[in-house]
Amino acid sequence: MEVKNKRISDAAFEAERQEVLKTWPTGSEVDFDEAVKYQSKLKGDLRFADKLREAQKVKKTLVQPRAGVPVLEEHVKLMRFLEKFGNVDLLPSTIDSYTRLNRYKEAEEGLRQSIIEGRALMNGVPIVNHGVNQSRIIVEAVHTPLQIRHGTPDARLLCEISYAAGFTSFEGGGVSYNLPYCKKIPMEDTIKTWQYVDRLTGAYAEKGIVINREPYGPLTGTLVPPCISHAVAVIEAILAAEQGVKNVTVGYGQCGNITQDVAAIHTLETLTNEYLEKYGYKDVEVTTVLHEWMGGFPADESQAFGVIALGATCAALSKATKVIVKSPHEAVGIPTMYANSQGCRCTKQVINMLYEQSYSAHNLNEEEEMILKETRAILDKTIELGDGDWAVGCCRAVDAGVIDVPFAPCAANAGLMLPARDNDGAVRIMDMGNLPFDKEIKDWHKAKFEKRAKFEKRDVHFNMVVDDIYAIERGHVVGRPEYKNEAQGVTTLTEESTL
């Protein structure tokens, strides 16, 4: 196995950079020294890491949407609209699907056709095709820090152009942008390409330019137990730190049970700091992000706002450093900029109302302790499998099913672990697969399902999993059998339906 958790040498990195920058003509616009000077001139209100650091100090949750359209002028208009009317604290630039697959020629054609037809024919902004100079127009058009959000297994050129253009945060990682997104790309390949991204981030840090890196927290987004997403987040933080990254935001996808979600954010920060320090990375700033519900959404906008508000509640009560917001149009497709701003304003309202409040529950400590125990078991087994190397251990852990992401399409993923909700709506593990848990953990999960089965007067069964997957879009958290019939009678409320 070639991949190792070892800092890429300057010579090897520079040689690889020259090859990466040749993969599309706009790569020639990247001049590292000039880019450092450009980044150094960006004011504090445009620096992602600075904004996160300030928010963490006062335990204030920042609001950030997802958004991106292909035509530069329209993307600028979208960013300005969200900045002015969305009441946001941080801005995204979501990348199109062609760019995510390094299909820059198709992205160029999609951009051209979008300009000709006067409408977006792509689901994001093709930063690589726009290049450094054009992309700087986006950065200079707003007064809010900008992050690149995407889903790219090989993001090396995208990262080069984004940093040179002035973006101050970059999302993704070698595990979180493989297992949930890819089918046949080996883990070793994505870890290596993301080591490049992190090494580039480290190179900027060495010049005094701290750029925020954010592993993708939700993974597949549906019924992912906290211990799985936490383990991936910690591993990606360690891999990033080895390459010189100094500012990391680890993420978690809302599951729907307030106690579990608050406990998850608390333990995520604890575990990340714990393992970074334990393995010698003592100078990395760690912040957290909660992603509002990533599963199926109600088609009715009023119900959708309820889901959004619950996500905002969990983010505020857990004191997550930021929250990624959903829109009331999630069930029907890409939201309009108006709908996007509505989701942000809804979230901001809830966060403001809960800012000075704290959350406590009698079972919060139990939840936190179980998440800590489960995640440590996965992480400790991972480093054992890697004989002390996190990159090697990560690949072997995925292969062995020690890290097992539910419903992931990747062929490398074991797919043996099966999650479902307990009687209170928290995500538990019905089938452990090859997760390295002791009898106490296994019995704890088993008892949770037996309690639900007794309440619902049915056996613990795979049908619970299926029911839970559709529960939230049907208006509930737990997929009770009786909710199926109830859902059939739900009418989507629109202005026309009330006339």
What are the residue numbers of the active site?
100, 171
Residue position matching structure tokens 């597949």: 220
Contact 163, 35 (CB under 8 A): yes
Residues 6+ away with beta carbon under 8 Å from 215: 171, 172, 173, 175, 176, 232, 233, 236, 237, 240, 248, 249, 250, 251
Amino acid at 353: M
Helices (H), 45-126: 48-57, 72-85, 97-100, 104-117
Helix (H, G, I), strand (E, B) or coil at 266: helix
- CA–CA dist 319, 265 (Å, integer): 8
Neighbours of 171 (CB within 10 A): 26
Q: Tell me 8's DSSP state.
A: P
Crossing angle of helices 390-400 and 364-385, rounded to 10°: 100
Residues 6+ away with beta carbon under 8 Å from 471: 421, 477, 478, 479, 480, 483
Q: Tell me 179's DSSP state.
A: T
